[in-house]
Amino acid sequence: MEAQIQTKSRAAQSSVPLLAVEDLHVQFETSRGTVRAVQGISYTVNRGEVVAIVGESGCGKSVSALTMMRLLAKTGRVTQGRILLEGRNLLELTDDEMRAVRGHEISMIFQEPMTSLNPVLTIGMQIMEPLLIHLKMTEEQALVRALELMQQVGITDGERRLSQYPHQLSGGMRQRVMIAIGLACKPKLIIADEPTTALDVTIQAQILELMKNLSRELGIALVIITHNLGIVARYADRVNVMYAANIIEKGTADDIFLKPAHPYTNGLMRSVPRLDEPRGTKLQTIEGLPPDLRMPPAGCRFAPRCPHRIEKCSQPISLIGIGAGHEARCHRVDEIASGKLKVEFPGGGAVNSQAQIGSAPILEVSGLKKYFGVKAAGAGFFSSEMATVRAVDDVSFSIAQGETLGLVGESGCGKTTVGRVVLRLDEATDGSIKFNGTDVTHHSGREMRGLRRKIQVIFQDPYSSLNPRMTVGEIIAEPLKVYGIVPEKKARNDRVGELLSQVGLFPYMAERYPHELSGGQRQRVGIARALALEPSLIVCDEPVSALDVSIQGQVINLLEDLQARLGLTYLFIAHDLAVVRHISDRVAVMYLGKIMELADRDEIYKRPLHPYTKALLDAAPIPDPRVEKARAPRALRGEIPSPLTPPSGCVFHTRCPIALDVCKQSVPPVRELKTSHLVACHRAEEIMEGKVLQGA
């Protein structure tokens, strides 16, 4: 009898979705006008469901989440719409009532685990806080529950962690703590705003796996907000794609990934390099930029960038149903859904005739070491006891003229330091760097001057790599002036215009300041600055990782074009395996300051011989739910050890699934197992012969 009633009430409950967002409008008053950040979005979340909201920066996805929590900045205002949590409109609650909802019924996990934990409170205090406040637990009860939560989120030595402070934990651990706090009061809904964006690929897989399992076991609904289509394929039940303050397509994960109906959704998926696709083709790109939300286009908002726009696209449009629960905001949706119209974007096709790869190495790095001294942990105030961080430990590689060497690894593996030492921004501790056959490791400042012209750099962050006080023209003209390449002012301005056109900008942009440009445009300016000196080698330090997905493809294509046209050589440093695979000829995988494996691109991605390379490839998400769901759950266990105390023997042995005793004792030498396939692993032969790690 009781059971019957329970089933009944559950059935009644499930007819009402847990969360319903109805026709939500949010706008911000800024000094430059009204920004309509969210315009009429509606979606529902059922109990225990994982719903993803995908979109590029500025599309309104985070604003909609903050609105749900009623955490909008003061300038933001909800002008229309309702947010119903189990039928209760959250927008009409008093502040006190809302406080009871936050953290108790809905909790939120933020992107930056570094800054969303309070640095001066212990982990234990921060996990126990919601328990004490919302559930009115006693200290003892809260402590017990905190330990239980730590266990749930996979923190093993909970008791020790409770008294630690956030800075003592790694990024992945901190995100686990954030999740524990989110779970503390057994909420019905967790909103995760870019929960893994700041994390490394192997840690990202761990965290997502954890969140999905928790949601399934505890029946918590999960809203994941992200720009990364890949992670959504594996974990989301339903997906909402946002563009310029609207939801432009919604449907199940299968709908979105297998039968995308909106041209923008198509474009998003095409402009990302993928691990499971043949390469050698250029990425298709969505040209242009998202519209200004102060004056969006009257009709379809994507029309200005859409290759298939027709006259009708200037008419307003709302979501049009295609199948059960699959809707898209496009005038030509029927044509696309029925397959009459094939969505194609500019780009695609074969890469322009590959630059000739010369035989002579342009850059040879051998036995490179870079150690940093830091004050030892636990050293007293007056003590000068130093510890050594082996940022780069015995790294050797060479790059041939016209080639691209990809250097890939997780944060802290030393890949950026390699780039800085090659650029001579940092001095090498040991080893040698030869450029065009000349040893330049210890060149003095004057000797370097000539060399500087030949080795240039493109930085990761287009926001901070341009001097905010100089115009674009001044930034690009400066090297021309300083080196006397183009001494005359008039000619110099012409050359600046030429360089700007070369990177796909317009000469008139020379008058602008960096802050007046978008991220992608700034990165193009950074590329133009590097090109101004007519270098032969460019160190690209994560050149696309700070850019939006649709912009990434544009910049990658540009880099490839320039290489083909100007015969450039790239040292391409990145953490994104798919991007590296797309652009590189050869790839080196780094871990804790050492190169684990170095081989031809296709070779290393098809037949990795190092367990770490295998793990990285396994952890990288693929934007296809069929592929993703067929893959076994995979998460490399553990965390990256501190470079202050690297493990003995093979540095990877602490996380390696096939480590033996010998791996703990001796450092595996770098061996050439196949022609130009270098690997540093004791068991590489067994992996090659398929005896271990088969299909893992």
Partner 1 sequence: MANTTAAMSANSAVTLPKRPNPVMTFVRQQPMGAVSFVVICAMMFAGLFPQFVAPYNPLDIDFSSLLAAPSWDHWFGTDAYGRDIFSRIIYGSRTALVIGFASSALGSSIGAVLGIASAYFGGRIDNWIQRFVDVLLAFPIIVLALVVVAALRKTVVYGVDVNLIIAIAIPILPRVARVVRAAALSVNVMPYIDAARAAGYSDTRIIFRHMAPNVVAPFLIMFTAFIAQAILLEASLSFLGLGVTEPTAAWGLMLSGNAADFYREAPWMVIFPGVAISLAVFAFNLFGDSLRDYLDPRFKT
Cβ closest to partner 1, residue 435 vs residue 459:
459
CB of 295 to partner 1, least distance (A): 7
The correct pick among 469, 632, 689, 695 for binding partner 1 (CB under 8 A) is 469
CB of 302 to partner 1, least distance (A): 12
**C-alpha closest to that of 113 among 54, 68, 176:** 176
Cβ closest to partner 1, residue 295 vs residue 660:
295
CB of 412 to partner 1, least distance (A): 18
Long-range contacts (CB closer than 8 Å, 24 or more residues apart) made by 97-104: 98/70, 100/134, 102/69, 102/70, 103/130, 103/133, 103/134, 103/184, 103/185, 103/187, 104/130, 104/134, 104/135, 104/185, 104/187
Binding mask 219-258 for partner 1 (x = CB under 8 A): ----------------------------------------
When asked if residue 121 is in the footprint of partner 1 (CB under 8 A), the reply is no
Cβ closest to partner 1, residue 25 vs residue 452:
452
When asked if residue 30 is in the footprint of partner 1 (CB under 8 A), the reply is yes
Segment near partner 1 (CB under 8 A), from 125-133, 375-383, 406-414, 505-513? 505-513
Q: Which residue has the tokens 């050797």?
A: 396
Question: Which three-class secondary structure string do you get for 55-124?
Answer: CCCCCCHHHHHHHHCCCCCCCEEEEEEEEEECCEEHHHCCHHHHHHHECCCEEEECCCCCCCCCCCCCHH
Cα–Cα distance measured from residue 583 to residue 404, given in angstroms and rounded to the nearest whole number: 7
The correct pick among 147, 320, 387, 533 for binding partner 1 (CB under 8 A) is 533
Cα–Cα distance measured from residue 695 to residue 432, given in angstroms and rounded to the nearest whole number: 39
Cβ closest to partner 1, residue 226 vs residue 460:
460
Q: What is the dihedral of CA 577, 578, 584, 590, to 10 degrees?
A: 0
**C-alpha closest to that of 556 among 570, 535, 537:** 570
Cα–Cα distance measured from residue 553 to residue 267, given in angstroms and rounded to the nearest whole number: 10
Binding mask 408-447 for partner 1 (x = CB under 8 A): ------------x--x-x----------------------
The correct pick among 167, 375, 449, 637 for binding partner 1 (CB under 8 A) is 449
When asked if residue 67 is in the footprint of partner 1 (CB under 8 A), the reply is no
CB of 73 to partner 1, least distance (A): 13
Binding mask 276-295 for partner 1 (x = CB under 8 A): -----------xxxxxxxxx
Cα–Cα distance measured from residue 675 to residue 597, given in angstroms and rounded to the nearest whole number: 13
When asked if residue 511 is in the footprint of partner 1 (CB under 8 A), the reply is yes
The correct pick among 129, 254, 335, 478 for binding partner 1 (CB under 8 A) is 478
CB of 466 to partner 1, least distance (A): 6
Question: How many chain residues are in contact with partner 1, going by CB under 8 A?
Answer: 57
Strand 677-679: give its sheet, edge to edge: 455-458, 537-541, 569-574, 404-408, 586-591, 594-600, 677-679, 671-674
Do 281 and 351 touch, CB atoms closer than 8 A? yes
Identity of the residue numbered 513: Y
When asked if residue 40 is in the footprint of partner 1 (CB under 8 A), the reply is no
CB of 19 to partner 1, least distance (A): 27
Cα–Cα distance measured from residue 325 to residue 323, given in angstroms and rounded to the nearest whole number: 6
Cα–Cα distance measured from residue 524 to residue 530, given in angstroms and rounded to the nearest whole number: 10
Cβ closest to partner 1, residue 304 vs residue 647:
304
Cβ closest to partner 1, residue 158 vs residue 290:
290
CB of 640 to partner 1, least distance (A): 23
When asked if residue 58 is in the footprint of partner 1 (CB under 8 A), the reply is yes
Do 179 and 387 touch, CB atoms closer than 8 A? no
CB of 483 to partner 1, least distance (A): 8
Cα–Cα distance measured from residue 279 to residue 601, given in angstroms and rounded to the nearest whole number: 10
CB of 494 to partner 1, least distance (A): 16
The correct pick among 111, 265, 521, 536 for binding partner 1 (CB under 8 A) is 521
The correct pick among 115, 356, 438, 467 for binding partner 1 (CB under 8 A) is 467
Cβ closest to partner 1, residue 479 vs residue 621:
479
**C-alpha closest to that of 306 among 334, 274, 265, 250:** 265
CB of 392 to partner 1, least distance (A): 17
DSSP one-letter string for 526-582: HHHHHHHT--SEEEEESTTTTS-HHHHHHHHHHHHHHHHHH--EEEEEES-HHHHHH
Query: Binding to partner 1 (CB under 8 A): which residues in 328-387?
Result: none
When asked if residue 461 is in the footprint of partner 1 (CB under 8 A), the reply is yes
Segment near partner 1 (CB under 8 A), from 326-334, 468-476, 563-571, 659-667? 468-476
- Three-state DSSP state, 367: strand
**C-alpha closest to that of 22 among 76, 69, 90:** 90
Cβ closest to partner 1, residue 63 vs residue 214:
63
Task: Give the Å distances, CA to CA, from 381 to 68, 147, 168, 397.
Answer: 47, 34, 19, 41
CB of 423 to partner 1, least distance (A): 5
When asked if residue 171 is in the footprint of partner 1 (CB under 8 A), the reply is no
When asked if residue 35 is in the footprint of partner 1 (CB under 8 A), the reply is yes
Identity of the residue numbered 388: T
The correct pick among 518, 564, 627, 692 for binding partner 1 (CB under 8 A) is 518
End-to-end CA distance of the chain: 49
When asked if residue 526 is in the footprint of partner 1 (CB under 8 A), the reply is yes
DSSP conformation class of 670: P
Cβ closest to partner 1, residue 58 vs residue 124:
58
Cβ closest to partner 1, residue 340 vs residue 515:
515
When asked if residue 466 is in the footprint of partner 1 (CB under 8 A), the reply is yes
The correct pick among 456, 550, 557, 654 for binding partner 1 (CB under 8 A) is 456
Strand 88-89: give its sheet, edge to edge: 33-45, 19-30, 76-85, 88-89
Cα–Cα distance measured from residue 161 to residue 95, given in angstroms and rounded to the nearest whole number: 34
Q: Which residue has the tokens 């006397």?
A: 484
When asked if residue 516 is in the footprint of partner 1 (CB under 8 A), the reply is yes
Using only C-alpha atoms, the chain has a radius of gyration, in whole angstroms, of: 27
Cβ closest to partner 1, residue 255 vs residue 542:
542
Do 427 and 443 touch, CB atoms closer than 8 A? no
Cβ closest to partner 1, residue 82 vs residue 512:
512
| Main-chain phi, psi angles of 404, to 5 degrees | -115, 120
Query: For binding to partner 1 (CB under 8 A), which residues are involved?
Result: 30-32, 35, 57-58, 287-295, 304-305, 420, 423, 425, 448-449, 451-453, 455-457, 459-461, 464-470, 478-479, 482-483, 504-506, 508, 511-513, 515-518, 521, 526, 529, 533
